[in-house]
Chain A
Amino acid sequence: DTGVSQDPRHKITKRGQNVTFRCDPISEHNRLYWYRQTLGQGPEFLTYFQNEAQLEKSRLLSDRFSAERPKGSFSTLEIQRTEQGDSAMYLCASSASQEQETQYFGPGTRLLVL
């Protein structure tokens, strides 16, 4: 399968713990996006990368959130000192380029903070 993959698929953690999620985009896609989706809502943009450069961050991305894409391939999203309000589905998407902007989504990582 050459689609977008995310790991883990599910994560349960206690409030105050740190968590890290990984996204592997479609091979040779140079844009990678992170979104957050809460129950009953559409995905909300968090941040995106073009190759290894982080080009935009949403105001939703507080200072407890950090994302990296060190070699322009896979990306990680870390949440420090998790809060119950962080419980959501975290979605990753990739697109080939700015011009070929169709975004393909992964299956998501569902986070539950107790």
Chain B
Amino acid sequence: GENVEQHPSTLSVQEGDSAVIKCTYSDSASNYFPWYKQELGKGPQLIIDIRSNVGEKKDQRIAVTLNKTAKHFSLHITETQPEDSAVYFCAASSWGKLQFGAGTQVVVTP
């Protein structure tokens, strides 16, 4: 089955700096890669997703890149703000269940 690894497990950044989270996956059949943000006591909230026929996608301060050959994808957050502090999860799937990474705790310090 699919296995998703996520790094780093914790990330501390100064407000205004960029944050990068990296994930690798094992199943070449995976074709959909969402990223979720989870705040304490809440369910995961989708922030951006990318499909395997696209190499990069951007939405305001958030961007995701995908390298199918290397089986890795990354989340980039620019101009970080304190409200970006949360746990971020990457995931991979092929037409159904999501396999999640272990998460990255992002702390943005003012």
Contacts and interface: CB of A to CB of B under 8 A. Distances in A.
Interface of A: 4, 33, 35, 40-45, 48, 55-56, 58, 91, 98, 101-108, 110
A103 to B, nearest CB: 6
Given A40-B103, A102-B34, A103-B34, A45 B97 contact: yes
Nearest to A9: B41
Interface of B: 4, 6, 32, 34, 36, 41-46, 49, 89, 91, 93, 95-103
A45 to B, nearest CB: 4
Contact of A33 (B6, B89, B97): B97
Contact of B96 (A98, A102, A105, A106): A98
B34 A45 contact: no
Nearest to B102: A42
20 contacts: A4-B43, A41-B102, A41-B103, A42-B91, A42-B101, A55-B96, A56-B96, A56-B97, A58-B97, A98-B95, A101-B95, A102-B34, A102-B49, A103-B34, A103-B46, A103-B98, A104-B46, A105-B43, A107-B42, A108-B43
Contacts of A102: 34, 46, 49
B94 to A, nearest CB: 9
B29 to A, nearest CB: 14
A91 B43 contact: yes
A10 to B, nearest CB: 10
